[in-house]
Structure 1
Amino acid sequence: MTDQEIYQKIGQLLVDAGPLGAKTIVVRAEIFPEGDGGKYEFDYIDDTCELNWFDPDGRAVGDLTELLVKLRKYFITNELTAGIGIWSGCEICLAVEKMKLSVEFIYDVQDRMLD
C-alpha cells in the first residue's frame, strides 16, 4: 500500500466517522511506540464555524490506529525520516467538502502534551 492510498483511507475513515455537518475535522494523535494503540483528540468545525469535539466509535479509532501505524512503517521502510527519527504523533486536518487532507507530523509528543 502506498502512502497516498493510506492518506485516502484516513480521509474516508474520518468522513465516515465524523459528525454530520462537519466542515473540517481535526484529529490529534499520539501513537504508542508498540503500535498497539494511541491517544486521540477528535474535533470538528461545523457550518457555523463553531468548534466542537466528537467521540467516534471504537472500530473507527482502531482502524485509524492501524492506518497510522502502516503510514509510520511506510516512512521507515522508504527511509523518509530525514535523519531525525520517526514521528510519534500527528495532527490531521480534513476539509470535508474539498476532501483535502493535511498531516503535520510530531516528533516530540511528550513535550507538546505537557504545554
Structure 2
Amino acid sequence: MTSRDDELYSEIGRILFESAPEDAQMLFLDAELSPENDHAKFLYDYVNEEGVKTWFLPGTPATDSLLLEKLVELRKFYLEQSLTNNLPVWHGCLVTVDLEKMKINLEYRYE
C-alpha cells in the first residue's frame, strides 16, 4: 500500500511532467510557500536533450494552483504525521524530476 506522501510526490511529478517542454530531460521546481499556505513563489527550470538548463513557464496558470495545493497538502502531512522531528516545518523545497528514469526528489528548506 502506498503512503499518502508517496502519492503526493507522484502527483507533483505528474503535474510537472504534463507542463514540461517537449525536449525536457530533467525538471526543476524551486518552491517557496507562504506561512499561511495561501500562495507560493515558483521558479521552473529544465535541462533539454542537449544538456542545456533554462527556465520555462507552464502552459497554463492552473499548474501553479495544482502544485500549491499538493505542496500544502504535503506540508500538512508532515505536520500531522510528526515528521518534522520537533522542528518547524519546511517552508520551501527544490523538486527534481528525472524524466528518463521517472524519479522525483524533494529537498526541503527550513528557516
Query: Could you state the TM-score of these two structures normalised by the residue count of structure 1?
Result: 0.91
- Alpha-carbon distance between aligned partners in 1 of 2:38 and 2:102, rounded to the nearest angstrom: 28
For residue 30 of structure 2, give the secondary structure of its aligned residue in structure 1. strand
The aligned length equals 108
Structure 1 position 21, deviation (Å): 1.0
Hey, what does 1:100 align to over in structure 2?
103
Runs of 4+ in 1 over 6 A off after TM superposition: none
| Identity between Structure 1 and Structure 2 (%) | 34
Structure 2 gaps of 5+ residues are: none
- Alpha-carbon distance between aligned partners in 2 of 1:75 and 1:107, rounded to the nearest angstrom: 13
- Alpha-carbon distance between aligned partners in 2 of 1:58 and 1:35, rounded to the nearest angstrom: 18
Hey, what does 2:37 align to over in structure 1?
35
Aligned Cα RMSD in Å? 0.9
Query: Could you state the TM-score of these two structures normalised by the residue count of structure 2?
Result: 0.94
Structure 1 gaps of 5+ residues are: 109-115
- Superposition pairs of residues 1-115 of structure 1, within 5 angstroms: 2-56=4-58, 57-108=60-111
Q: Determine which structure has the larger helix proportion and give its number.
A: 1
